[in-house]
Structure 1
Amino acid sequence: MQFPKFSFGMGDRFAHQAKAQLQACMLAAQQGADVTPVWNKSNREHLIIGSEPTGTREAADAAVKEMGWTKPYFLDADHINLKTYERFVAPCDFFTIDVADNIGQKSDETEIAKFVERHPELIGEITIPRIDQPFRTDKAFVEKTAKQFLAAVQHAGEIYRAIAAAKGNENFVAEISMDETDAPQTPVELLIILAAISDEKVPIQTIAPKFTGRFNKGVDYGGDLQQFAKEFREDLATIAYAVEKYNLPKTLKLSVHSGSDKYSIYPAIREGLQAFDAGVHVKTAGTTWLEEVIGLAEAGGDALELAKEIYAQAYAHADELCAPYATVIDIKKDNLPTPETVDGWSSEQFVKALQHRSPAEAGDLPEYNPDFRQLLHVGFKVAAKLGKRYTDTLEANEEVVARNVTKNLFERHIRPIFLG
Structure 2
Amino acid sequence: MLQHLNLPTIDESVVTVDGTTYALVTTSVPGERKLVVVGDGAGFVGEKQADGTLLCSLTPENARALRQRLAWLRPTVLGLQTTAGFGDRLGIATPGHVQATRGTGVAPLYAQQSVRENTRTGRTPQNVVDDAMWGAFEAGWREAWGADADHMKTLEDIEPFVSAGYSFYTIDPGDYVDDATETDDDATLRQKAEALPWHDLQSSLQDAQARYLKRFDLDQFAITFDEHTLLKAIAKYGGAMAHVARMTQRLREVAGSLPFEMEMSVDETGTTTALAEHFYIASELKRLNVPFVSLAPRFVGRFEKGVGYIGDVQELEQNIAGHASIMRYFGNSYKLSLHTGSDKFEVYPIAMRYTGGLVHLKTAGTSYLEALRLIASVDIPFFREILDFTRGRYETDRKTYHVSATLDKVPSSADLTDAQLPDLLNQFDARQVLHVTFGSVLDTYGSRLQRVLHEHLTEYHAYIKRHFDKHLAPFRRKG
TM exceeds 0.5?
yes
Q: Which residue of 2 aligns with 1:150?
A: 238
Q: Is the 8 A contact 1:99 1:156 kept in 2?
A: yes
Q: Is the 8 A contact 1:2 1:251 kept in 2?
A: no
Q: Is the 8 A contact 2:88 2:112 kept in 1?
A: yes
Higher Cα Rg: structure 1 or 2?
Answer: 2
Gaps of 5+ in 2: 1-76, 180-191
1:253 lines up with 2:324 in the alignment = no
Of 161, 166, 179, the match for 1:88: 161
Cα shift at 1:87: 1.9
Letter of the 2:453 counterpart: L
Instruction: Say if 1:382 and 1:144 are closer, same or farther in 2 by CA, change over 3 A.
Output: closer
1:283 lines up with 2:362 in the alignment = yes
Cα shift at 1:382: 3.2
Looking at structure 1, the residues matched to 81 and 253 of structure 2 have their Cα atoms a distance apart, in angstroms, of: 27
1:374 lines up with 2:464 in the alignment = no
Cα shift at 1:107: 4.9
Letter of the 2:349 counterpart: P
Letter of the 2:173 counterpart: V
Cα shift at 1:52: 1.1
Give the 3-state SS of the residue equivalent to 1:264 in structure 2. Answer: coil
Instruction: Say if 1:315 and 1:126 are closer, same or farther in 2 by CA, change over 3 A.
Output: same
1:117 lines up with 2:213 in the alignment = no
Q: Which residue of 2 aligns with 1:387?
A: 446
Whichever structure has more helix as a proportion of its residues is 1
Looking at structure 2, the residues matched to 263 and 278 of structure 1 have their Cα atoms a distance apart, in angstroms, of: 16
Map 1:12-27; keep pairs closer than 5 Å: 12-27=88-103
What is the alpha-carbon root mean square deviation over aligned residues?
2.1
Looking at structure 2, the residues matched to 339 and 351 of structure 1 have their Cα atoms a distance apart, in angstroms, of: 11
Q: Is the 8 A contact 1:80 1:97 kept in 2?
A: yes
Map 1:221-232; keep pairs closer than 5 Å: 221-232=309-320
Instruction: Say if 1:251 and 1:66 are closer, same or farther in 2 by CA, change over 3 A.
Output: farther
Cα shift at 1:251: 4.2
Looking at structure 2, the residues matched to 168 and 333 of structure 1 have their Cα atoms a distance apart, in angstroms, of: 49
Letter of the 2:86 counterpart: M
Identity of aligned residues (%): 25
How far does the alpha carbon of each residue in 1:391-417 deviate from its partner, in whole angstroms, 9 at most, with x for none? 11110111221111111011x210023
Gaps of 5+ in 1: 244-249, 356-368
Give the 3-state SS of the residue equivalent to 1:84 in structure 2. Answer: helix
Map 1:357-372; keep pairs closer than 5 Å: 369-372=427-430
Looking at structure 2, the residues matched to 97 and 331 of structure 1 have their Cα atoms a distance apart, in angstroms, of: 28
Of 172, 176, 185, the match for 1:98: 172
Looking at structure 1, the residues matched to 429 and 78 of structure 2 have their Cα atoms a distance apart, in angstroms, of: 40
Of 387, 390, 397, the match for 1:321: 397
Looking at structure 1, the residues matched to 204 and 289 of structure 2 have their Cα atoms a distance apart, in angstroms, of: 16
Q: Is the 8 A contact 2:169 2:262 kept in 1?
A: yes
Q: Is the 8 A contact 1:186 1:231 kept in 2?
A: no
1:311 lines up with 2:311 in the alignment = no
Instruction: Say if 1:414 and 1:349 are closer, same or farther in 2 by CA, change over 3 A.
Output: same
Looking at structure 2, the residues matched to 407 and 60 of structure 1 have their Cα atoms a distance apart, in angstroms, of: 19
Letter of the 1:289 counterpart: Y
Aligned pair count reads 383
Looking at structure 2, the residues matched to 261 and 145 of structure 1 have their Cα atoms a distance apart, in angstroms, of: 31
Looking at structure 1, the residues matched to 106 and 406 of structure 2 have their Cα atoms a distance apart, in angstroms, of: 39
Give the 3-state SS of the residue equivalent to 1:331 in structure 2. Answer: coil
How far does the alpha carbon of each residue in 1:181-232 deviate from its partner, in whole angstroms, 9 at most, with x for none? 1111122210111122123221111111110001111111011111211111
Q: Which residue of 2 aligns with 1:360?
A: none
Looking at structure 1, the residues matched to 448 and 299 of structure 2 have their Cα atoms a distance apart, in angstroms, of: 39
Instruction: Say if 1:296 and 1:372 are closer, same or farther in 2 by CA, change over 3 A.
Output: same
1:47 lines up with 2:119 in the alignment = yes
Give the 3-state SS of the residue equivalent to 1:261 in structure 2. Answer: coil
Q: Is the 8 A contact 2:390 2:441 kept in 1?
A: no
Letter of the 2:421 counterpart: F
Give the 3-state SS of the residue equivalent to 2:90 in structure 1. Answer: coil
Letter of the 1:297 counterpart: A
Q: Is the 8 A contact 2:391 2:407 kept in 1?
A: no
Q: Which residue of 2 aligns with 1:334?
A: 408
Q: Is the 8 A contact 1:36 1:71 kept in 2?
A: no
Q: Which residue of 1 aligns with 2:463?
A: 404
1:352 lines up with 2:411 in the alignment = no
Q: Is the 8 A contact 1:259 1:286 kept in 2?
A: no
Letter of the 1:122 counterpart: Y
Looking at structure 1, the residues matched to 324 and 110 of structure 2 have their Cα atoms a distance apart, in angstroms, of: 21
Letter of the 1:95 counterpart: Y
Looking at structure 2, the residues matched to 278 and 398 of structure 1 have their Cα atoms a distance apart, in angstroms, of: 33
1:262 lines up with 2:262 in the alignment = no
1:79 lines up with 2:151 in the alignment = yes
How far does the alpha carbon of each residue in 1:287-316 deviate from its partner, in whole angstroms, 9 at most, with x for none? 1000010011122xxx22222211111111
* Deviates most, 103-112 or 285-294: 103-112
Give the 3-state SS of the residue equivalent to 2:306 in structure 1. Answer: coil
Instruction: Say if 1:376 and 1:259 are closer, same or farther in 2 by CA, change over 3 A.
Output: farther
Q: Which residue of 2 aligns with 1:359?
A: none
Q: Which residue of 1 aligns with 2:82?
A: 6
Cα shift at 1:333: 2.2
Letter of the 2:420 counterpart: Q
Instruction: Say if 1:296 and 1:189 are closer, same or farther in 2 by CA, change over 3 A.
Output: same
Cα shift at 1:78: 0.8
Map 1:46-65; keep pairs closer than 5 Å: 46-65=118-137
1:127 lines up with 2:217 in the alignment = yes
TM-score between both structures, scaled by the size of structure 1: 0.86
TM-score between both structures, scaled by the size of structure 2: 0.76
